[in-house]
Amino acid sequence: MEFCEKCGALMLPQKKDGKPILKCRECGHEKAVSRAPKYKVEYRIKHSPREKIVVVEHDDRPDDELTEDERRERRKEILEFYEEEESE
């Protein structure tokens, strides 16, 4: 990784006339190099439980036809699912 001599910004590898160079992103300063350096860019993204997709199995009966116990059980399962996701 190299930084620009003029402004101090990160210089990125590019090709000019088939030859590798390092070019400043900010001021455009160019520096000839014999071999372009290899970079690995890595991003770590942490997703919240709300961003994940929840798959709900289809039940033949609509919610208004469920008994009160079935509704409680369904709510309990959903809450347990979200609690498990938050603990990870």
Give the pLDDT confidence of 2-61 residue by residue, as tens digits.
889 999 999 888 888 988 899 998 999 999 888 767 777 788 888 887 777 777 776 666
> How confident is the model at residue 86, as a pLDDT?
73
Residue 41 domain flag: no
Residue 10 and residue 25 in contact, taking contact as beta carbons nearer than 8 Å: yes
> How confident is the model at residue 7, as a pLDDT?
93
CA torsion 46→49→50→51, rounded to 10°?
40
Residue 13 and residue 2 in contact, taking contact as beta carbons nearer than 8 Å: no
Q: Give 20's strand partners.
A: 15
Question: What is the pLDDT averaged over residues 66-80?
Answer: 87
Count of structural domains, the chain: 2
Domain around 14: 2-32
Tell me which DSSP letter residue 28 carries.
-
Residue 60 domain flag: yes
Higher pLDDT among residues 69 and 35, named by residue: 69
> How confident is the model at residue 23, as a pLDDT?
93
Taken in order 62, 81, 79, 49, is the CA torsion positive or negative?
negative
